[in-house]
Every structure is written in C-alpha cells, then in structure tokens.
Amino acid sequence: MFIETEQFAAQLEAMDELEQQAAYAAVAQWFADHAGKITHHTHLAPVHTATTVRLGQGEPVITDGPFVEGKEVVSGFAEVEVADLDEALKIARSWPACPIVEIRPAS
C-alpha cells in the first residue's frame, strides 16, 4: 500500500506542471519496470471521499472521512506476486512517490 503524508501531498501540490509531469512519469516507469510482478493496482480517490463504517457495539456508525484521523493516508495499492518478503522489499525500495510503502501478504 502506498501511504501519502500531508507533507508529501503539499510538496506535490507545490510543484510546477513540469515537475508534476516528471513525478508522474517516474511512477509510470516504476509500474512498467515491475509489470511482470504486478497483478493488480489502483489509485484511490482522495481521503475526503472516504466513508467509514464502524462495527461492533449496537448499530453500525457511518461517518464521512478516513478510518482514522491522521497525517498519513493510503493513496493506492499494488498487488505483486513475489517469492518472498525479500523480493517484495526490493520492489518497494524503488517506489518513487509516496514516502511510505506498507507490505502485507494476501491470504
């Protein structure tokens, strides 16, 4: 999962058009470089579009916004088919965008 921080979002927003195009080109190149391992990927809509359903006690509580209030949000994800964590880490280390990548095995 690609985790975007407020600082990263602000830096991207502050870039001029050519800098933004270069940043997006780097991401496109990353996906192209790893296309053989990526089985699915998507970019999520901005965090303000999220709806959260909290389950547990009584009726579910539905709220606008992300599941937690924080300065980091999941902005997208890619499913990769790799042999082990080491291979996943190698791919993650080359990610050119959001400053945080979270790796989880699929079950």
CATH number at residue 76: 3.30.70.1060
**Type of residue at 81:** E
Give the residue ranges of DSSP H helices in 50-106.
Answer: 85-93
Q: Tell me, what's the pLDDT at 49?
A: 82
Q: Are 95 and 75 in contact (CB under 8 A)?
A: no
List the one residue out of 93, 51, 94, 101 whose CA is nearest residue 76.
101
pLDDT tier, 60 (very low <50, low <70, confident <90, very high otherwise): confident
Q: Is residue 10 part of a domain?
A: yes
Domains held by the chain: number: 1
Strands 61-64 and 72-80: unpaired
Which residues 6+ apart lie within 8 Å of 65 measured at CB?
47, 48, 50, 51, 52
Query: Structural domain of residue 56, as residue ranges?
Result: 2-101
Decide if pLDDT at 11 tops 70.
yes
